[in-house]
Amino acid sequence: MTHKSESSFTGRLRLVLLCLYVLIWPVNVSGDAAVKAALPSAQPMAGIMPVSFPSAVPSSGAPGSLQPLPSLADMLERVNPAVVNIATRSVVRESNRLLEDPFFRRFFNVPKSRQRYRRTQSAGSGVVIDSGQGYIVTNAHVVKGADEISIGLSDGRTLEATLIGTDPEVDLALLQVEAEDLTAIEYANSARLRVGDFVVAIGNPFGLNQTVTSGIVSALGRSGLGIEGYEDFIQTDAPINPGNSGGALVDLHGRLVGINTAIFAPSGGNIGIGFAIPANMVSAVTAQLIEKGEVNRGFVGAIVQPLNRELARAFGVISAGGMPQGVVIVDVEKGSSAEQAGLEPGDVIVQMGENPIVSVADFSAQAATMFIGDEVAVQYVRQGEQASTMLRIVADQQQAVAGKSLTPWLRGVELQNLRGGDETMPGAGVVATEVANRSPAYAFGLRPGDVIVGANRVAIEDIATLRDAVRRDSRQLLLRIFRNSRFYYVVIR
């Protein structure tokens, strides 16, 4: 055995004995003092650096005491009472389309049977936004078709709620209860959220009351999902499950940043992709529902498209970092708010109100919170020059329109409100006056003279309601039409 190997063996032996010595020696103090007490005369060996052993949690108090661990408990004690459980009950008619078909019944001599009904119930979550008036916000789909709505509070009380109004375009509903000692939540400014901010989801998944999960903001301004008519979602990886709909997404101060509304779940469960409606949109919509009991969105009438770098350079709206700024107007509809404000095709909108417009999602989010009678300052770029105008929101009173202005699915279709003689027939539907032979609508079965009475399962009264309905699903357009005294369905994909 060489001298080098003997030295190495001796060093390892001394290290093992040293470790045993530290483990069995009685230690009554913590940190570096423990090592010093156990090894009063130990000297560092050659090639081995001394190691310090700090306390698991540093303490500035008495020896041996530990500081409290970081926790969300204090914040949740304040916020949890503002999140409620919502139980709904409804009576639905059981139907069998085959047995209800007159031809089938006559051919097989099926006797007429009595109507059968069954009682259903569902559950969701809600958030108290005004303790004095008893206002609670939740998702519209949570209370859709409900005959009875019950609110379960964190203190065990159960209250009956009244539905004040809904906004299916953004999937929000406002309820009201009569109660004292309610706890309301505080709104945050969701425009200040950043990707990476910590958030906490609170709700009642699967009926498990006051369930809390945490995560971060994964993305902002998510749209094009085909979930709602107006989409500007906060994406989060905080676990959201069935029953969380209508619950709160809060920041670490306990302020409301969003209302949980949907998850991406190809397997049926949570995979860390959840979506929430931003608090600023919630605040604007609920204020409209409180004031009027319904949402009256105006007719902006500006058709916009995003800018890539080449277009941004051409329009002179590229940032110093090389990022496109704004959205470009490609068409302005007659009689719209945009036309009255003097906006023209080619104008690049860069700001609306206090909110910068960077993408089409930003523009749509702003449009979702603009109601009839509102005035919004718009900053735009025209031929390289900065300009501004006041956008006054007016009602949609169009009588005829090109289908492409509503949705690409209706490209090549001319539409107008149904008329009887020379007078418009309110609530009757929208007639397709022209359908181009090479259009997608013609290929899927729409014909001139067809009257559109439903779109994406929404009853169509006029062009204004059709405009709202086509936003509900970006993946396809389901039309219910009236032709030759019969009803048909046409789906355009």
Greatest extent of the chain over all pairs of C-alpha atoms, in Å: 114
Phi–psi pair at 193, nearest 5 degrees: -65, 150
Q: CB neighbours (10 Å) of residue 223?
A: 18
323 vs 321: CA distance, rounded Å = 6
Active-site residue flag, 171: yes
From 141, 150, 337, 347, active-site residue: 141
Question: Cα dihedral sign for 243, 245, 247, 248?
Answer: positive
357: nearest Cα among 312, 297, 291, 419: 312
Q: How far apart are CA 382 and CA 380, in angstroms?
A: 7
Residue 460 to residue 351: CA distance in whole angstroms:
33
- Pairing, β 172-176 against β 198-203: unpaired
Closest CA to 378 of 344, 353, 399, 361: 353
Residues 322, 309: contact at Cβ < 8 Å?
yes
Q: Is the distance from CB of 345 to CB of 327 less than 8 angstroms?
A: no
Q: Exposed, middle or buried: residue 144 (CB in 10 Å: 0-12, 13-18, 19+)?
A: middle
3-state secondary structure of 345: coil
Distance between CA 451 and CA 142 in Å, rounded? 32
Q: Which of 122, 245, 337, 405 is catalytic?
A: 245
- C-beta of residue 414 within 8 angstroms of C-beta of residue 400: yes
Tell me which residue of 471, 358, 343 sits closest to 410, measured CA to CA. Answer: 471
Catalytic residue, chosen from 122, 150, 167, 171, is 171
Catalytic annotation present for 141: yes
The two tokens of residue 474 are 């970006």
Query: Whats the size of the chain, residue-wise?
Result: 493
Rg of the chain over all Cα atoms, to the nearest angstrom: 31
DSSP state of 318: B
Helices (H), 93-209: 97-100, 102-108, 140-143
Q: List the one residue out of 359, 229, 363 whose CA is nearest residue 300.
A: 363
For residue 111, the SS3 value is: coil
Mark 150-188 as b/e (b = at least 16 C-beta within 10 Å): bbbbeeeeebebeebbbbbbbbbbbbbbeeeebbbbeeb
- With 0-12 CB in 10 A as exposed, 13-18 as middle and 19+ as buried, what is 331? middle
Residues classed as catalytic: 141, 171, 245
